[in-house]
Structures are given as C-alpha cells and as structure tokens.
Amino acid sequence: MSRQANRGTESKKMSSELFTLTYGALVTQLCKDYENDEDVNKQLDKMGYNIGVRLIEDFLARSNVGRCHDFRETADVIAKVAFKMYLGITPSITNWSPAGDEFSLILENNPLVDFVELPDNHSSLIYSNLLCGVLRGALEMIRKLRYAANA
C-alpha cells in the first residue's frame, strides 16, 4: 500500500515539474511571438481564463466542495483546496478590501517560477498571469452556475 501512495506522490511531483517546464517554454514562445510584454500578459490571461472556464468542472467533481455561503468562504476554498489540488501549494489570503469584495492571494512558493530566469528586457512581464486568468474564468463560471440554479 505504501508503494502505491508513494507512486501517486511521485507522479504528482513529476506532473508538476513537467507543467512548470512546459509553462516556461510557453511563456518563452509568447515573448518571441509578441512585440511587447503587455501583449504577452494579455495572452497569458486569456489562456488562463479559457483553462479556468473548463477547469472548474473538474474541480467541482473532484473536490466535493459544497456551495460557499460568502466571499470569504470562497477565498478559503480557492486557497486551501483548489491551489493545493492543482499546484500543491496553499497561498495566504490577505489585503481584504473594506467592503469584503476583494482580496489578495500571496504565493510564498510559486511552482511556476522554479526553473525560470527572466531576462532584464522583460521587466513588465507578469510571468504568472495565467493564474489570474484561471481564477477569473473559474469564478465567472461559478457565478453563471449560481444564477442558472436560481433562475
């Protein structure tokens, strides 16, 4: 039994490393394809959005998480369940707005940057912008599902 558990852990670690290497190659290619970092940032966000729209179904099926009652609970599920499930990390939730409708997720260890060295001429590149798009796409789909259920 412990060998099977160990294989699952090794497989997830290998998949995570493969993803980070592949992501680095993707960003490198985007930097070659687009003239400036702003365009690369937009493409990363757009790609992430498209991933998030599709990934939410997998998340809901695999996580067995029920409906969140408020935005703070949603933030908790994103940080403690979703990031842990897909990236193996748990970001900190900070900087709540006074209205409680905005917050920041702080990644102490960002797995996307494990094998990366950015050249100086890409100082405005938001390297992990894909993650912002994923969150935006997934949350938008949750909002649509919620409104469809209430209609």
pLDDT digits (tens, 9 = 90+) for 45-83: 999 999 999 999 999 899 989 888 899 999 999 999 999
pTM recorded for the entire structure: 0.82
pLDDT category at 6 given cuts 50, 70, 90 is low
Domain ranges for the chain, please list them.
16-116+127-149
* DSSP secondary structure, the chain, as one string: -HHHHHHHHHHHHHHHHHHHHHHHHHHHHHHHHSSSHHHHHHHHHHHHHHHHHHHHHHHHHHH-----SSHHHHHHHIIIIIHHHHHS--PEEE---TTSS--EEE-SS-GGGTT----GGGTT--TTHHHHHHHHHHHHHHHHHHHHHH-
More confident residue, 41 or 117: 41
Please state the CATH superfamily assignment of the domain spanning residues 16-116+127-149 in this structure: Trafficking protein particle complex subunit 3 (3.30.1380.20)
pLDDT digits (tens, 9 = 90+) for 84-136: 888 888 999 999 999 999 999 999 988 888 777 777 788 899 999 999 999 99
- Give the model's pLDDT for residue 119: 72
